[in-house]
């Protein structure tokens, strides 16, 4: 039986990507990470992938959005993933791309509350008492795909955006790996 092929997409530090890379390397996930796509030159996640022996692909946004979309689809097709994992990838994928590939994403809020790039800041500004993390399928909207799993994180009175985001990331890393285990088990059965 062949392992599921994962492609990770990430834009920054890569702590969530690292948790997935580690889970695959330790066989917690029955998967092989066959590539990592990043849109930011110099992002720490690129070094994390290289250190793990994972092929990296740099895909900076272009002024011609259609060209960028086409290049993303071509790269994904070449990698032939069973599942694409968006782990802090801060770009919206085209409707064509999300229709062609099974893509799962994590978001630092309890969707449908606080979608978009500033979820943690928005939760604090709204005076929410709790927030959390959501793992969801990617569709052509922004954080509108079907919810797969969620975990609540309480908001403390002393939380700053940075401290809350870090506590959410701790929950997010664990939930993402557990959700991927479930999705991959379903993949094997299908």
187 classed as catalytic? no
What is the 8-class DSSP label of residue 155? P
Rounded-to-integer distance, Cα 53 and Cα 139, Å: 30
By the 8 A CB rule, do 48 and 18 touch? yes
Rounded-to-integer distance, Cα 165 and Cα 50, Å: 26
Q: Which residues contact 83 (CB under 8 A, 6 or more apart)?
A: 4, 5, 6, 7, 31, 102, 103, 104, 180, 183, 184, 187
How many CA atoms lie less than 13 Å away from 125 in the CB half-sphere? 7
Phi, psi of 25 (to 5 degrees): -65, -35
For residue 75, what are its two tokens? 């790269």
Q: Which residues contact 122 (CB under 8 A, 6 or more apart)?
A: 109, 114, 116
Q: Which residues are catalytic?
A: 107
């Amino acid at each position: 039986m062949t392992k599921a092929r994962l492609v990770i997409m990430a834009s920054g530090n890569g702590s969530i990507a690292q948790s997935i890379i580690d889970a695959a390397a330790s066989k917690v996930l029955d998967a092989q990470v066959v590539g990592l796509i990043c849109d930011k030159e110099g992002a720490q996640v690129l070094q994390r992938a290289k250190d793990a022996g994972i092929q990296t692909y740099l895909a900076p946004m272009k002024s011609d959005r259609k060209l960028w979309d086409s290049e993303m689809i071509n790269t994904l097709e070449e990698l032939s993933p069973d599942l694409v994992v968006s782990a802090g990838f801060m770009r919206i994928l085209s409707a064509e791309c999300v229709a062609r590939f099974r893509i799962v994403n994590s978001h630092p809020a309890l969707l449908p509350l606080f979608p978009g790039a500033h979820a943690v800041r928005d939760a604090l500004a709204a005076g929410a008492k709790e927030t959390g993390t959501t793992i969801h399928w990617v569709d052509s909207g922004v954080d509108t795909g079907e919810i797969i799993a969620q975990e609540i994180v309480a908001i403390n009175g002393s939380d700053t955006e940075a401290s809350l985001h870090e506590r959410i990331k701790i929950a997010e890393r664990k939930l993402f790996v557990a959700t991927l285990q479930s999705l991959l088990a379903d993949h094997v059965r299908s």
